Amino acid sequence: MLYAIGDLHLSLDADKPMDVFGPLWHHYVNRLVQGFSKLNYDDVCVICGDLTWGMSLEKSLKDFQFIDKLPGKKIILKGNHDYWWTTATKAYKFFEQHNITTIRILHNNCYFYGDSAICGTRGWFYEEEKGSESDKKIMNRELMRLERSLQAAGDAKEKLCFFHYPPRYNNYVCREIVDILNKYEVKSCWYGHIHGRGHKYAVCGNVDGIEYNMVSADYIGFEPVLVK
């Protein structure tokens, strides 16, 4: 089985528990353990960013060890609060040093699950008329990474896309990302990032031929949702 969840926001070695953000987050670490308990060893779960509040790999060690011990294999991508992120090479070296074996990184690449390709990137909120030059540079890098990921999928029968930022939110559309999804005939995507009061503005369901799925942990009850 292939699953998805986003925004674990772990802080096992940082003083930033999410419980302060209201009832949706109460006992969330225990709820994650319970939610992942339905996965088997051979299942795969894509985690759509914002894994840990740790400001470095070393400060994130307990969080990664927690994730590593959860059932199944995990494919992670970067979120806007993943301050530990430097390079995939450094992360893999760190994982190896600490015997973390169930985590792989989605970044300028793709993974295959049967005849489906798991693709994606962080994404970004960007509107040309409002965005800064810095925003534009970040957006262009994310577009490049998304295209590389989809190109790596080759002639896979199905391309599944995962983001941290939603390509659509309320009345906002990241047209550049949606155009790439259409170019590569992507029919479904999953994203996180949105919390609390923002849940009601999340775009879920089919819009112009693409199925959008919001998987922020607090939105889905800290239980990974089935992708396929």
In the prediction, which pLDDT does 25 show?
Answer: 87
Determine whether 47 is exposed, middle or buried from the number of CB atoms within 10 Å of its CB (0-12, 13-18, 19+).
buried
Range of the structural domain that residue 216 is part of: 2-226
103 membership: H or E segment, kind and range: strand 103-105
* Helices (H) then strands (E): counts for the chain: 5, 13
Separation between Cα atoms, residue 191 and residue 165, nearest integer Å:
6
Using an 8 Å Cβ cutoff, are 221 and 192 in contact?
no
At 53, is the secondary structure helix, strand, or coil? coil
In sign, the C-alpha dihedral spanning 37, 38, 42, 44 is negative
Using an 8 Å Cβ cutoff, are 55 and 24 in contact?
no
In the prediction, which pLDDT does 135 show?
Answer: 80
- The Cα-based distances of 145 to 2, 89, 131, 214 in angstroms read 22, 16, 20, 21
The owner of tokens 């995939």 is 88
Look up the CATH number of the domain holding residue 60.
Answer: 3.60.21.10
Separation between Cα atoms, residue 1 and residue 199, nearest integer Å:
26
In the prediction, which pLDDT does 136 show?
Answer: 84
Work out the number of other CB atoms within 10 angstroms of the CB of residue 156.
19
Backbone angles phi, psi at 92, to 5 degrees: -65, -40
pTM of the model: 0.94
Determine whether 46 is exposed, middle or buried from the number of CB atoms within 10 Å of its CB (0-12, 13-18, 19+).
buried
According to DSSP, the residues that pair with 28 across neighbouring strands are none
Return the DSSP state at 224: P
Each of the 228 residues of the chain gets a pLDDT tens digit; together they read 999 999 999 998 877 777 666 778 889 999 999 999 999 999 999 999 999 999 999 999 999 999 999 999 999 999 999 999 999 999 999 999 999 999 999 999 999 999 999 999 999 986 555 567 788 898 999 999 999 999 999 999 999 999 999 999 999 999 999 999 999 999 999 999 999 999 999 999 999 999 999 999 999 999 999 999
In the prediction, which pLDDT does 24 show?
Answer: 82
Tally of domains within the chain: 1
